């Protein structure tokens, strides 16, 4: 450590440990533990501070304002494909603030399904808490798996496929610290919380919008404050549940599938969660190994894809959705959905006799082709767990598609950044019109192979009128050419996409610095707000 770092670390150590236990890592340790991303060289950090009580946050902010260093807060630091920390453009010391040890779970109101979480609470920890304490509610899970924080995912405005898809929409109340030297010592909360004199503050914790200007949203996808807790409205587990899978082996009925998806979502709002539509290649990367060998950065030929598809019986398009409700409602919805999806492909429900029979047979005879079928049924079960709010690692292996050294094992912890996986996301919003979505499919299929990247398409419906497509850009992080190509591929996707109205809902840390113009009124307004709440620019200076 050079002197300046050493001086600052000694001050932090003294002041923070006077409040509660603190662990401080030096530059090498901090960079090794927190600096990895899935798309760049590790981001260099000067130190990392793991605090154990939220009252240490104002102490750190005060020190940063006095000593002028940059703070990068992370909750679980697993923003894979987007980057948890920004590369700094400043010459100040870069201190990572690790909030993962703040693990308080407060049962705000079990009866109402309202729970308050500190930043370090992971999906698995919330799941265990709900299970151990008899809460009949679902965890707002994502594909990022059990070890990811609930708070930071909501702050990134991430989403999942349980009934409350939009994770920040389900946040009813937020507390945090604003970096301004005159404000940082007291925890921010909404007017309603200030006025409410009761212990539980249910008015604040059950009503998202507060009173007066809505400020809580300023803490999301931003650098205006450090969030110390969120209250989340959990979705109740329903007695009835089934998932449906529509497999379409035709190449010419994409329009029909999109129209049917929209129809089902509109007709069964509140009963059917979101619906995913995935193409053949996307499913192939989930169920098979890379036929070209990982790390070689070769796109599967049509023949290779057809061979994988034949072996695993993968259709052109797979539609997956879930029905939640009272058993009688689920039963009726099943019948009506069957009618709506008639003729669109082969339809299967997860509670069907065929699936139950399949599980019995393959468990008794797990040999030959039945082994493949057993594997598929297991993946099916894991997908269903996610839809029912139980976290697992089913989605994570995809990040290892071009990783030549590690074969992912879902039974142990998977961490794509630590394991040097190459991953970027292209995550644009699209209107729910078949013609636009078709144009989008063609665009992705034209662009990505030019850069030796598989065109993998998933559509997730945020509502009946808005779709998000998450296209994973998978590459060999160890090969500099592959990294350059992956970034160029993402750039071309974004540039071509915006001309057609496909605009990302979330950006990686590098794009945040390069893509967003400083000239528009929105950017100028952000800059003015940033200047007012953080005059010394100490918090995540380069974010968005």
Ligand X SMILES: Cc1cc2nc3c(=O)[nH]c(=O)nc-3n(C[C@H](O)[C@H](O)[C@H](O)COP(=O)(O)OP(=O)(O)OC[C@H]3O[C@@H](n4cnc5c(N)ncnc54)[C@H](O)[C@@H]3O)c2cc1C
Residues in contact with ligand X by the rule CB under 6 A: 73-81, 84-85, 99, 119, 142-144, 148-149, 151-153, 155-156, 158-160, 226-227, 395-396, 398-399, 416, 423, 540, 543
Residue with the shortest CB distance to ligand X = 158
DSSP calls for 529-543: HHHHH-TT--B-TT-
Q: How do strand 105-109 and strand 503-504 relate by DSSP bridges?
A: unpaired
Identify the sign of the CA torsion 151, 157, 158, 162: positive
Please identify, using beta-carbon distances, which residue of 347 and 423 lies nearer to ligand X.
423
Please identify, using beta-carbon distances, which residue of 141 and 341 lies nearer to ligand X.
141
Please identify, using beta-carbon distances, which residue of 320 and 399 lies nearer to ligand X.
399
Please identify, using beta-carbon distances, which residue of 60 and 74 lies nearer to ligand X.
74
Please identify, using beta-carbon distances, which residue of 326 and 409 lies nearer to ligand X.
409
Please identify, using beta-carbon distances, which residue of 24 and 85 lies nearer to ligand X.
85
Q: Which two tokens stand for residue 294?
A: 């990982």
Q: Are 462 and 274 a contacting pair, CB within 8 Å?
A: yes
- Among 450, 499, 496, 439, residue whose Cα is nearest residue 473: 450
Please identify, using beta-carbon distances, which residue of 221 and 376 lies nearer to ligand X.
221
As a whole number of angstroms, the distance between CA 16 and CA 53 comes to 10
Please identify, using beta-carbon distances, which residue of 75 and 288 lies nearer to ligand X.
75
Shortest Cβ distance from residue 352 to ligand X (Å)? 26
Shortest Cβ distance from residue 104 to ligand X (Å)? 13
Shortest Cβ distance from residue 429 to ligand X (Å)? 14
Angle at the Cα of 54 (from 48 to 57), degrees rounded to 5?
Answer: 55
Shortest Cβ distance from residue 381 to ligand X (Å)? 18
DSSP calls for 455-470: ---EEEEEETTEEEE-
Burial class (CB in 10 A: 0-12, 13-18, 19+), 89: exposed
As a whole number of angstroms, the distance between CA 410 and CA 17 comes to 38
Residue 471 bridge partners (DSSP)? 426
Helices (H) and strands (E) in the chain, counts: 17, 18
Shortest Cβ distance from residue 75 to ligand X (Å)? 4
Shortest Cβ distance from residue 467 to ligand X (Å)? 15
Find all residues with CB under 8 Å of 431, minimum gap 6, and list them.
465, 466, 467, 501
Shortest Cβ distance from residue 506 to ligand X (Å)? 8
As a whole number of angstroms, the distance between CA 375 and CA 198 comes to 53
Shortest Cβ distance from residue 353 to ligand X (Å)? 31
DSSP calls for 327-339: HHHHHHHHHHHHH
Please identify, using beta-carbon distances, which residue of 75 and 322 lies nearer to ligand X.
75
């Amino acid at each position: 450590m050079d002197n300046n770092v050493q001086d600052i670390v000694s001050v932090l150590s003294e002041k923070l440990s006077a409040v509660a236990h603190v662990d401080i890592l030096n530059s090498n340790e901090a960079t090794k533990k927190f600096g990895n991303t899935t798309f760049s060289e590790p981001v260099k950090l000067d130190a990392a501070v793991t605090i154990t009580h939220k009252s240490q946050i104002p102490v750190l902010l005060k020190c940063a304002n006095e000593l002028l260093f940059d703070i990068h807060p992370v909750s679980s630091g697993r923003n894979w494909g987007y980057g948890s920390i920004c590369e700094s453009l400043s010459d100040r010391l870069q201190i990572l603030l690790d909030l993962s040890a703040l693990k308080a779970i407060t049962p705000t109101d079990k009866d109402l399904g309202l729970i308050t979480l500190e930043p370090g609470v992971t999906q698995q920890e919330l799941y265990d808490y709900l299970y151990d304490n008899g809460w009949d509610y679902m965890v707002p899970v994502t594909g990022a798996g059990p070890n990811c924080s609930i708070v930071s995912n909501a702050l990134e405005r991430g989403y999942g496929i349980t009934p409350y898809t939009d994770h920040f929409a389900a946040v009813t109340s937020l507390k945090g610290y604003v970096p301004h030297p005159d404000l940082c010592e007291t925890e921010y909360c909404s007017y309603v919380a200030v006025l409410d004199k009761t212990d539980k503050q249910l008015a604040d914790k059950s009503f998202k919008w507060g009173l007066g200007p809505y400020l809580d949203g300023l803490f999301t996808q931003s650098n205006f404050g450090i969030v110390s807790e969120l209250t989340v409205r959990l979705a109740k587990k329903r007695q009835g549940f089934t998932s449906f899978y529509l497999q379409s082996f035709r190449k010419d009925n994409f329009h029909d599938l999109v129209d049917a998806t929209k129809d089902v979502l509109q007709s069964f709002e509140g009963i059917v969660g979101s619906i995913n539509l995935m193409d053949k290649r996307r499913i192939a990367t989930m169920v098979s190994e890379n036929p070209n060998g990982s790390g070689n950065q070769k796109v599967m030929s049509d023949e290779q894809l057809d061979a994988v598809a034949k072996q695993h019986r993968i259709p052109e398009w797979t539609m997956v959705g879930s029905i939640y409700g009272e058993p009688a409602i689920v039963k009726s919805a099943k019948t009506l959905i069957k009618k709506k999806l008639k003729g669109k492909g082969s339809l299967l429900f997860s509670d069907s006799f065929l699936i139950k029979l399949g599980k019995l047979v393959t468990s008794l005879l797990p040999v030959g082709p039945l082994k493949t079928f057993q594997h598929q049924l297991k993946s099916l079960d894991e997908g269903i767990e996610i839809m029912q709010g139980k976290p697992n690692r089913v989605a994570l292996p995809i990040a290892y598609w071009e990783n030549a050294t590690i074969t992912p094992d879902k039974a142990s912890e998977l961490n794509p950044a630590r394991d040097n996986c190459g991953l970027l996301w292209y995550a644009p919003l699209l209107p729910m019109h078949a013609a636009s979505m078709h144009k989008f499919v063609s665009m992705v299929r034209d662009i990505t192979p030019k850069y030796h990247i598989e065109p993998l398409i998933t559509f997730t419906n945020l509502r009946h009128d808005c779709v998000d497509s998450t296209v994973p850009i998978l590459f060999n992080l160890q090969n500099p050419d592959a990294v350059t190509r992956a970034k160029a591929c993402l750039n071309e996707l974004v540039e071509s996409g915006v001309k057609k109205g496909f605009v990302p809902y979330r950006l990686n840390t590098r794009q945040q610095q390069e893509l967003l113009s400083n000239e528009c009124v929105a950017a100028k307004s952000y800059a003015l707000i940033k200047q007012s709440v953080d005059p010394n620019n100490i918090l995540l200076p380069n974010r968005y």
